[in-house]
């Protein structure tokens, strides 16, 4: 293997590790999210659909389904300098919402690891509509 190939492979490996490390730092556990919101240090944005929200949600969370997030960004403008935790059912949509918010200039955005499923598994309270 020539020097270029080794450097190229090393570069790809380092880039992948940096991406994974960054993703890890953008996650908060449900218990961390609960503590941050109860201490008024963060807000939760629930990006699930209406039927999911109506089935049970975190008290005080802001409900904006993922497919409406771009259009409803002005509703979150007041939280531009606040820690925002995105949350969905299990973590996939909240990761996409994190990207949308970061692209819109929100800098303190995290995704709840495991979503409402993990929240419930940890025995944390939810409320019905």
Is 98 strand, coil or helix? Answer: helix
Query: Which residue among 66, 88, 95, 116 is the active-site one?
Result: 88
Beta-carbon contacts of residue 41 (< 8 Å; ≥ 6 apart) = 83
Q: What are phi and psi of 128, to 5 degrees?
A: -90, 160
**Active-site annotation holds for 88:** yes
Distance CA 47, CA 69 (A): 8
Distance CA 99, CA 109 (A): 9
What burial class does residue 29 get, using C-beta atoms within 10 Å of its C-beta: 0-12 exposed, 13-18 middle, 19+ buried?
A: middle
Residues classed as catalytic: 88
């Amino acid at each position: 293997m020539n020097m270029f190939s080794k450097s190229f492979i090393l570069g790809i490996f380092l880039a992948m590790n940096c991406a994974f490390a960054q993703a890890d730092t953008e996650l908060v556990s449900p218990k961390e999210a609960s503590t941050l919101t109860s201490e008024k240090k963060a807000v939760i944005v629930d990006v699930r659909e209406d039927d999911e929200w109506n089935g049970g949600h975190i008290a005080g969370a802001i409900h904006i389904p993922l497919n409406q997030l771009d259009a409803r960004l002005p509703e979150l403008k007041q939280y531009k300098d606040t820690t925002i935790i995105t949350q969905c059912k299990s973590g996939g949509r909240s990761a996409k919402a994190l990207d949308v918010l970061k692209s819109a200039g929100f800098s303190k955005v995290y995704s709840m690891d495991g979503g409402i499923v993990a929240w419930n598994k940890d025995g944390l309270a939810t409320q019905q509509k």
